[in-house]
Amino acid sequence: MENIQCIFCKKSTDIVAIEEDGYKGKKCPECGLIYVSPRPTRSEIHALYRSSSSKTYFAKCQDVFGTLSTRLVARHHVRIIKTFLQKGSILELGSGTGEFLGEARREGFDVSGIELNPRLSRFINEELSIPCENRPLNSSSFDSKKFDMVYLCDVLSHYHDPLSEFRQINAKLRDGGFVVFETGNGGDIDPRYFRWFMSFQYPDHLFSFSVNNLLDLLSRTGFQPLRVYSFCILPELILWRALNYLMRSRAIRRAKGGGNALSARVVPQNALKRIGTLGCVRYLVRYKLGSLLHGMSKMPQTVIVVGRKRGSGDRSIGL
């Protein structure tokens, strides 16, 4: 375990915004960044994602890939991407089961992925026939190839050193290339809304950013911010809370009635997401309803941020 400071302000704080499973999320009083400290070391983090016991691990890849709900999300993101890049090469970091890669390939993009979990990486290579490496991004990844776009979804908060990772992303892009990523706005959220989160996934998640943190991250690593899309996720969080309550109540009734003694603990959110119908509802609530409520101040949101490698001469738009 190691102690760290705010990666932007280089200052320590004792202000604890979130505490879960013995880990503390400390909030920088100057920039609003929430960071886990003390936290696992880099080697411990890499071991976590290579393990089949990781919270982000899907045991049956084939049961997840290609479902309607996952493809809806992938299509939504590809539509956003095509407003900035109509053709070319895309590298996805943290490819999971390859839903985005498959959808981007259908739209004519040349796709590649990086996925640290060996079983998922093997699935993408062998079952989807998409090049996927099983090691962290570096200058020699994919034979030193450079890409037109690097894409990552719900990966940023897992990075041990986000500034270093984004400098590496910049180096893997061609001149004028794009970075597109989705993450939460944890650093902006009013603490009264934290109660709606079933889990903050500590220590998988090491950082929670404000939107200003994200723009600062881009600026410090050689990118020009182009666009921020915001989607309020409070209705989604309330939905999962309600479903979790119903499933726990059912488990308790079955146990009291002499059935299988099912656990009354919190139902893992990933387990709910794997249910196809609920996944479609989640897509509609997050990206359709959420887009209508995106301006609600201090509420939990997911944001999709687009940046361009600096030096292309473009100015910021739509921020």
* pLDDT tens digits, 67-82: 677 889 999 999 999 9
| 3-class secondary-structure state, position 244 | helix
DSSP assignment of 36-52 equals ESSB--HHHHHHHHHST
CA–CA distance, 139 with 146 (Å, rounded to integer): 9
pLDDT in the model for residue 59: 40
In the Cβ-directed half-sphere of 112, how many Cα atoms lie within 13 Å?
19
The residue-averaged pLDDT of 125-134 equals 96
Rounded to 10 deg, the angle between the 211-220 and 162-171 helix axes is 50
* pLDDT tens digits, 198-253: 999 999 999 999 999 999 999 999 999 999 999 999 999 998 888 877 877 776 67
Rounded to 10 deg, the angle between the 276-283 and 234-256 helix axes is 150
* pLDDT tens digits, 253-283: 776 665 554 444 444 445 444 455 677 888 8
pTM of structure: 0.85
Rounded to 5°, the CA angle 218-220-222 comes to 70
Q: Are 113 and 95 in contact (CB under 8 A)?
A: yes
pLDDT in the model for residue 277: 67
* Nearest partner of 96 among 159, 152, 138, 157, judged by Cα: 152
3.40.190.10, 3.40.50.1000, 1.10.10.410, 3.40.50.150: which CATH number matches 42-232+297-309? Answer: 3.40.50.150
The domain spans of the chain are 42-232+297-309, 235-285
Which amino acid, residue 269? Q
Q: Are 34 and 187 in contact (CB under 8 A)?
A: yes
pLDDT tier for residue 14 given thresholds of 50, 70 and 90: very high
Which amino acid, residue 170? N
